[in-house]
Chains A and B, each alone.
Chain A
Amino acid sequence: MAIMNRMLVGLAAILLLAPVFATAGAPKPTIKIENPGQCIAPVAEMRVNHMEMLKHSRDRTMRQGIRGEKASLNGCIECHASKTTGSVLGKDGFCQECHTYSAVKLDCWDCHQPKAGYKHAEAAGAKP
């Protein structure tokens, strides 16, 4: 009987704690938009489709030389780069926060410059 009681208590404890576990999880990403305003599409659509938008315009730009498409990484960082770090990466970085939360590898910025208005010091000085 004592064992039964203990089991019941244990079960109750698990049931009571279940919601706590369910809500705990990974902390939600902090989304900080430095230049609030109109994005190129509604937030819900951007969240679902930004990678598709970028992928298609990347192929057109790279292979066909079509410039000035609505979706571009340089366009992203214009609004979304942090004002403190200048980047969309790092802690509180607009891209990295969500990608870390959702465990999706983010390799765009291995090649593309993640800082807004970036100019290499040497390059900026040497320009004629």
Chain B
Amino acid sequence: MKEPQDLIDNKSRRSFVGTAAVAGAGLGALAIAPGLHLIQVSEASTPSQGASSKVRWGMLIDTTKCASDCDACVKACATENGINETLKDARQGSQWIRKIDLKNPKTGQEHSLPMLCQHCEHPPCVDVCPTGASMKRADGIVLVDRHICIGCRYCMLACPYKARSLVHMPLTTQNPEVPRGQGCVESCTFCVQRVDKGLKPACVESCPEGAMLFGDLNDPNSEVAQRIAKEKTTQVRGDLKLNLGVRYQGI
């Protein structure tokens, strides 16, 4: 009579163990010669260089051009990043970018501006994150690594700009390039999936007035760096000395 273990599919088990041993030996590919897969693969794709610390992505927003009844940037952001969930409680909605109207009560002077993650050089959200999920990329873009975010929302409290949101419900309609899901904190990514392709963030492209300017703050030849060098720009809550990536003009 057969032993029970003989009845297990022994062929697949052996090949499994064999492969595991080979893989354990380090560069398993050497032994898996017939496929020569590593060579094929290396020809098939060349990964990009990644974010460089020579670059500091930043934005200049001209509030004098920004109309209070316009929310093209907010809509473009939602489209690009797949923020389209319907919530029972609207207060739980994710705000990667929002429009703010300001009025000076003494002079009556009014401003309208988009408020988004300011991509600080010294981000408080990164300081307080207990898991290291909140992070700043070499090129200055502040992101949440959702793989290790536990949704504690400490970063939401730490952020002086109210730039972060928590996803409260399961999502199914994500943009394939912008993964996002329940239980994780999220915020503006400067459309990192577009920036890595050499494109501008969706909000910048959508602005009908051209009030938003995106570029490399470290490159003296970039339009955004030249404007900041010449014209008076403001960092919101500049007193916190966070050295923001987003600058405003006209406030």
Contact = CB atoms under 8 A, between A and B. Distances in A.
Interface in B16-39: 16, 18-20, 23, 28, 32, 35, 37
Interface residues of B, number: 54
B35 A64 contact: no
A18 interface: yes
A38 interface: yes
Interface string B193-204: 000110000000
Contacts, number: 116
A15 B25 CA distance: 41
Contacts of B82: 120, 123
Contacts of B46: 68
Contact of A62 (B18, B48, B145): B145
A70 B41 contact: yes
Given A74-B176, A110-B170, A122-B84, A47 B37 contact: no
Contact of B40 (A23, A38, A67): A38
Contacts of B15: 44
B222 interface: no
Contacts of A127: 79
B176 A118 contact: yes
Given A41-B37, A64-B138, A68-B46, A111 B28 contact: no
A48 interface: yes
Interface string A94-125: 00000000000000001111010010101100
B209 to A, nearest CB: 16
Interface of A: 15, 18-19, 22-23, 38, 40-42, 44-45, 47-49, 58-60, 62-70, 74, 110-113, 115, 118, 120, 122-123, 126-128
12 contacts: A19-B2, A23-B7, A44-B15, A47-B19, A68-B45, A70-B44, A74-B176, A111-B184, A113-B176, A115-B176, A120-B175, A127-B79
